[in-house]
Structure 1
Amino acid sequence: MKRCYYEVLGVEKTATESELKTAFRRLAAKLHPDRNPGDKEAEERFKEVKEAYEVLGDAGSRQRYDQFGHAGVNGQGGGGAGGFNDLGDIFGDIFGDIFGGARGRQARRGADLRYVIELDLEEAVFGVEKEIHFPTRVVCKRCKGSGSDDGKVETCDTCGGHGQVRMQRGIFSMQQACPHCGGSGRRVVNPCSTCDGDGYVEDEKRLSVKIPAGVDTGDRIRLAGEGEAAAGAQPGDLYVEVQVREHEIFQRQGRDLFCEVPIRFSQAALGCELVVPTLDGEAVVKVPPETQTHRLFRLRGKGVTPVRGGGAGDLLCRVVIETPVNLTQAQRDLLHQFESTFGEDASRHSPRESTWVDAAKAFWNRIRPG
């Protein structure tokens, strides 16, 4: 007679979905055949736990089981119709990297590589083709990645040809791929004289990389199959990561560009036309009279078209009024004469100064009453 599924998982009938999953994970990790090779009792218990979770882990089948018992889900347990969809994901979470099993004997995919490429702002905005070179491991041509000079192999002494070794970590006993044969169960008799039995040699790889227009710092370009080689398996990928150098004029924020344009106070007071640089030429900014420092002028469409699409951004020019230096005596005399024209009614020519003075007086009155 089948045991109660709740009893099999060691939970109450009121157990939540999360509690059911936790109980299943704990028991499955304990009873999995990879941890108990040759133990028939553990194998049967594992199947029982799996069957119980397939039923109770699905809301519909659990409701039928609670109402009619095993008869209500007859044929569903053990992977029949209506089996729980998440079992594969759960097993992957629990055993993905702990138990090698058959996977330990499979050829491993080559490692992915990362390369940081530095670009000027113009190169990032308009796109560019660059040649890069970087050190990597390639399959040894002499032994074609086998690591053997003559093709002779023998059973690995460490794992006895199983490809797996048992590791004890505290109270846990786990199996993992043999570190000496990499899970193959075999070892080379006469190592290759070129790669010393490793199957790989260090080399330098050169590639031409097309950088698309509109990339920015942090963007990555994936070059499939250009990573580290792997004998008998797919090579890894190369990820080219963009780093844009600081520009002497422009700062980029997303699709917009910013720049500061210094002007004399006479230009700001009287108004003027400024010729400012853009990434594709020059543009004219009309500065109206009585312009204050840090005012922004927007040049639409003079920014960046992002690599992921969308319209071009804008160029925002911030004017900064510079105090003149290296004045001649004649210029000083003119400035003194100009300053004397303000008289006692100077505040009406400096609205921000008047506001600031009023705010300062109010502040002092608050902290020094009376």
Structure 2
Amino acid sequence: MATADLYKALEVSKGATQDEIRRAYRRLARKYHPDANPNDKGAEERFKEIQHAYEVLSNPEKRREYDEGPRSFFGQSTQGTQTNLRDFGDLSDIFGSFGDVFGGASGGARGRPQAVRGDDVTVTVNLKFKEALEGVTTRVSAPVEDSCEDCRGTGAAPGTAPRPCPECGGRGVRSRDQGFFALSEPCGRCGGEGTVVEKPCRRCSGAGRLRKNRQVSVRIPAGAKTGTRVRLAGRGSAGRKGGPPGDLYVTTRVEEHPVFERRGDDFVVEAPVSFVEAALGRRSRCQGPRVGR
């Protein structure tokens, strides 16, 4: 290390307060961080020096031992205290959760949206009492968002393709200076997509998706009741950016029977009997439905 004085390394006086040490560290770390100085070995060594000085001076016990010195703290920086750039990550580790401090100097397309799974769709099917009792295969109409066949979901007219946004360079985010920090926010030109469509598809008006009613065959199991839900994997709306489709859920609504009342898995019927029949235990001729018949 080039500097043997920890206070000098942080550019503070020996009587500096903890707040002064913290502010000096943040200022210097921001200035010499490798992300802000790519391929600069001098800046990297300076950053290690600053990091080690702060590690010692920010700890009251270590600072007291250093002040009582002499100690070869810098000689321990890479072994005794095992300071390593990998321990500190990028600048978000230094300054907390403030987003891209340098507006993505090393983050690449950090703000660009990833593949998005399609929406799940739920429809209701009305069943007669006997259909629910025995099970039935029926067709339902499901309103879904499907990929446009003309543009194949890109939103661009056939023969063309989306191009990287000229405002954000295809990253999907732009940096906004906030004094000490440069915060990232979605690009206003492309809405965070990272691409723009110069010639929209006529069929979907550039949306890449069209709403349609998809006819789907579904098997309702025997014994279904109101509220039974059947899942059809992958039959919901199409995904975006190459994401998988959502699922389709079919919920049943069973019409009431004029005689039988369902209570859970049981069927109940009210049969009028006289006092004599009740006293003698006369057997009723009522025959109830059988599930799965």
Give 3-state SS (helix, strand or coil) of 1:122's partner: helix
The answer for the alignment partner of 2:54 in structure 1 is none
1:151 partnered with 2:160: yes
With a CA cutoff of 8 Å and minimum separation of 6, indicate the structure with the bigger relative contact order.
Answer: 2
The answer for the alignment partner of 1:189 in structure 2 is 198
Give 3-state SS (helix, strand or coil) of 1:146's partner: coil
- Displacement of 1:165 in angstroms is 5.0
* TM-score, structure 2 as length reference: 0.54
Judged with a 3 Å threshold, the aligned counterparts in structure 2 of structure 1 residues 265 and 159 are, in CA distance, closer, same or farther, namely: farther
Give ranges in structure 2 of 5+ residues lacking alignment: 1-34, 38-46, 52-78, 88-108
The answer for the alignment partner of 1:11 in structure 2 is none
The answer to whether the 8 Å contact 2:141/2:214 transfers is: yes
The answer to whether the 8 Å contact 1:104/1:182 transfers is: no
Give 3-state SS (helix, strand or coil) of 2:138's partner: strand
Judged with a 3 Å threshold, the aligned counterparts in structure 2 of structure 1 residues 176 and 109 are, in CA distance, closer, same or farther, namely: farther
The answer to whether the 8 Å contact 1:124/1:215 transfers is: yes
Correspondence 1:51-200 to 2 at 5 A: 102=110, 104-149=112-157, 150-156=159-165, 159-165=168-174, 175=184, 178=187, 181=190, 183-200=192-209
The answer to whether the 8 Å contact 1:191/1:197 transfers is: yes
Aligned mates of 1:177, 1:224 — CA distance in 2:
33
The answer to whether the 8 Å contact 2:122/2:248 transfers is: yes
Give 3-state SS (helix, strand or coil) of 2:131's partner: helix
Question: Percent identity between the aligned chains?
Answer: 36
Cα-to-partner distance string for 1:275-329 (whole Å, 9 max, x where unaligned): 113114xxxxxxxxxxxxxxxxxxxxxxx57xxxxxxxxxxxxxxxxxxxxxxxx
Give 3-state SS (helix, strand or coil) of 2:219's partner: strand
Give 3-state SS (helix, strand or coil) of 2:227's partner: coil
Q: How many residues align?
A: 201
Cα-to-partner distance string for 1:211-266 (whole Å, 9 max, x where unaligned): 12233333321111100013533111111123333332222232222221123445
**Aligned partner of 2:135: which letter?**
G
1:256 partnered with 2:258: no
Aligned mates of 1:259, 1:166 — CA distance in 2:
71
* TM-score, structure 1 as length reference: 0.44
Higher normalized strand content (fraction of residues): 1
Judged with a 3 Å threshold, the aligned counterparts in structure 2 of structure 1 residues 156 and 144 are, in CA distance, closer, same or farther, namely: same
**Aligned partner of 1:253: which letter?**
R
Correspondence 1:209-228 to 2 at 5 A: 209-228=218-237
The answer to whether the 8 Å contact 2:111/2:171 transfers is: no
Judged with a 3 Å threshold, the aligned counterparts in structure 2 of structure 1 residues 265 and 204 are, in CA distance, closer, same or farther, namely: same
Aligned mates of 1:121, 1:197 — CA distance in 2:
46
Give 3-state SS (helix, strand or coil) of 2:132's partner: helix
The answer to whether the 8 Å contact 1:135/1:202 transfers is: yes
**Aligned partner of 1:239: which letter?**
Y
**Aligned partner of 1:199: which letter?**
G
- Displacement of 1:126 in angstroms is 2.1
Give 3-state SS (helix, strand or coil) of 1:117's partner: strand
Judged with a 3 Å threshold, the aligned counterparts in structure 2 of structure 1 residues 251 and 270 are, in CA distance, closer, same or farther, namely: same
**Aligned partner of 2:269: which letter?**
C
**Aligned partner of 1:144: which letter?**
R
Higher normalized helix content (fraction of residues): 1
Aligned mates of 1:115, 1:173 — CA distance in 2:
47
Cα-to-partner distance string for 1:137-162 (whole Å, 9 max, x where unaligned): 21111111111113243443664521
Give ranges in structure 1 of 5+ residues lacking alignment: 1-37, 49-70, 80-100, 281-303, 306-370
The answer for the alignment partner of 1:240 in structure 2 is 250
The answer to whether the 8 Å contact 2:117/2:245 transfers is: yes
Cα-to-partner distance string for 1:123-179 (whole Å, 9 max, x where unaligned): 2232111110122221111111111113243443664521135699xxx99756557
